[in-house]
């Protein structure tokens, strides 16, 4: 194998491959043979009802819970062959985590530096860099008990970054946070993804998935009901999706031209010229091209969004339909 071919294969290697992971607790099958794979920079939203098996699957991947059968390969390391090796590859924020309120932020992260056997000489640099990444550097000397809930979540994420792992697993990191704090965390997920980290985030807040994830996995009674990109999830295997498009300063004379352009991409189901609003159904893969075309023709596009409610509808469809790839 040539050096370049080998390099190309390594770069394309998935960061996570879950291979038929299964967990049984006596008679209960909590996770049923879950298989999926993620690449560098992917952000997976893991959704499903209470008791679906999300946390159990996450604990298996992190090496905290031994699978009944199946395995996972993380950044080239097999979970069954080398569970300790897996710990170095993953930063994990469990659904419930303690923060040692009496410590300061910096003392807390120092503790994790020691746990991960990071050389003493690098501690200050590692602590500062983790806190900068989660935008908490101003609190470096504050006692943890003085932090708000959102800050504590960010400190939990900082802790998961201490070893600089390629994969971050965050089990309900936004639970109990207000919309602003959730939005801040979503922005942080995007920043981490842009840095090349792969993230798995379990969440019950469906309406915000689009803000931060590239992929969605739906789990119910231990089964992976659907897995794919957020676009495919919203499309539910169909070829079309509905969008609301709004324009600035659209005049009646432009409507005909607009209809002509849009007709090449999909079906215009409704044009409400009085509000400069367009509701259209189109092949969702062509949405980017349509937007480009509209801008090239000088239309001032104010917003171009999937219709509200799509996510909840997609979730209901996925959980009613049964196992399938979307």
Ligand X SMILES: Nc1ncnc2c1ncn2[C@@H]1O[C@H](COP(=O)(O)OP(=O)(O)OP(=O)(O)O)[C@@H](O)[C@H]1O
Is 176 a binding residue for ligand X by CB under 6 A? The answer is no
Q: Whole-angstrom Cα distance, residue 163 to residue 147?
A: 23
Smallest distance, ligand X to C-beta of residue 83, A: 18
- In the chain, DSSP finds a helix count (H) and a strand count (E) of 12, 14
Sorted by sequence, the CB contacts under 8 Å of residue 10 that are 6+ apart come out as none
Helices 105-115 and 123-133 pack at an angle, to 10 degrees, of: 120
Q: Are 306 and 234 in contact (CB under 8 A)?
A: yes
Is 50 a binding residue for ligand X by CB under 6 A? The answer is yes
Among 32, 36, 47, 48, binds ligand X (CB under 6 A): 48
Interface map 79-98 toward ligand X (x if CB under 6 A): ----------------x---
Give the range of 51-59, 72-80, 209-217, 275-283 binding ligand X by CB under 6 A: 51-59
Pick the closest to residue 166 from 199, 117, 134 (CA basis): 199
At CA 211, angle to CA 210 and CA 212, rounded to 5? Answer: 95
Give the range of 19-27, 54-62, 147-155, 308-316 binding Mg ion by CB under 5 A: 54-62
Which CB, 55 or 163, lies closer to Mg ion? 55
Smallest distance, Mg ion to C-beta of residue 125, A: 34
Which CB, 52 or 126, lies closer to ligand X? 52
Give the count of residues interacting with ligand X (CB under 6 A): 12
| Main-chain dihedrals φ then ψ at residue 58, nearest 5 degrees | -65, -40
Is 220 a binding residue for Mg ion by CB under 5 A? The answer is no
| Residue owning tokens 């000088």 | 298
Q: Of these partners, ligand X, Mg ion, none, which one is at the site of residue 94 (CB under 5 to 8 Å by kind)?
A: none
Give the count of residues interacting with Mg ion (CB under 5 A): 2
Q: Whole-angstrom Cα distance, residue 99 to residue 145?
A: 9
Give the range of 46-54, 185-193, 253-261, 310-318 binding Mg ion by CB under 5 A: 46-54
Among 18, 42, 55, 210, binds Mg ion (CB under 5 A): 55
Among 51, 179, 196, 238, binds ligand X (CB under 6 A): 51
Pick the closest to residue 173 from 65, 309, 55, 63 (CA basis): 55
Q: Whole-angstrom Cα distance, residue 76 to residue 37?
A: 12
Among 17, 32, 47, 55, binds ligand X (CB under 6 A): 55
Enter the tokens of residue 27. Answer: 């008679």
Smallest distance, ligand X to C-beta of residue 171, A: 7
Q: Dihedral through CA 187, CA 192, CA 193, CA 195, nearest 10?
A: 130
For Mg ion, the binding residues (CB under 5 A) are 54-55
For ligand X, the binding residues (CB under 6 A) are 25, 28, 30, 48, 50-56, 95
């Amino acid at each position: 194998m040539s050096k370049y071919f080998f390099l190309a294969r390594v770069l394309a290697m998935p960061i996570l491959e879950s291979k038929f992971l299964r967990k049984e607790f006596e008679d209960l099958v909590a996770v049923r043979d879950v298989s999926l794979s993620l690449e560098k920079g992917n952000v997976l939203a893991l959704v499903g009802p209470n008791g679906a098996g999300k946390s159990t699957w996450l604990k298996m991947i992190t090496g905290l819970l031994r699978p009944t059968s199946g395995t996972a390969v993380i950044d080239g390391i097999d979970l069954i062959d080398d569970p300790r090796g897996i710990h170095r590859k993953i930063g994990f924020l469990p659904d419930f985590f303690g923060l040692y309120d009496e410590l300061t932020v910096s003392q807390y992260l120092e503790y994790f530096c020691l746990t991960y056997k990071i050389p003493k000489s690098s501690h200050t640099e590692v602590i500062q860099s983790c806190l900068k990444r989660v935008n908490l550097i101003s609190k470096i000397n504050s006692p943890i008990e003085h932090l708000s809930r959102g800050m504590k979540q960010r400190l939990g994420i900082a802790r998961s970054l201490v070893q600089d792992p390629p994969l971050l697993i965050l089990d309900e990191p936004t639970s109990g946070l207000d919309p602003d704090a959730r939005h801040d965390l979503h922005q942080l997920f995007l920043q981490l993804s842009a840095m090349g980290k792969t993230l798995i985030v379990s969440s019950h807040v469906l309406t915000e998935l689009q803000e931060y994830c590239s992929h969605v996995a739906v789990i119910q009674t231990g089964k992976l009901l659907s897995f794919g990109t957020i676009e495919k999830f919203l499309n539910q295997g169909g070829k079309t999706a509905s969008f609301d498009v709004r324009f600035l300063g659209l005049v009646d004379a432009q409507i005909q031209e607009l209809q002509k352009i849009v007709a090449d991409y999909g079906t215009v189901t409704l044009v409400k010229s009085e509000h400069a609003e367009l509701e259209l159904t189109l092949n969702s893969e062509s949405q980017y091209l349509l937007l480009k075309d509209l801008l090239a023709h000088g239309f001032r596009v104010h917003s171009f969004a999937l219709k509200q409610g799509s996510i909840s509808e997609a979730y209901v469809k996925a959980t009613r339909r049964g196992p399938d790839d979307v």
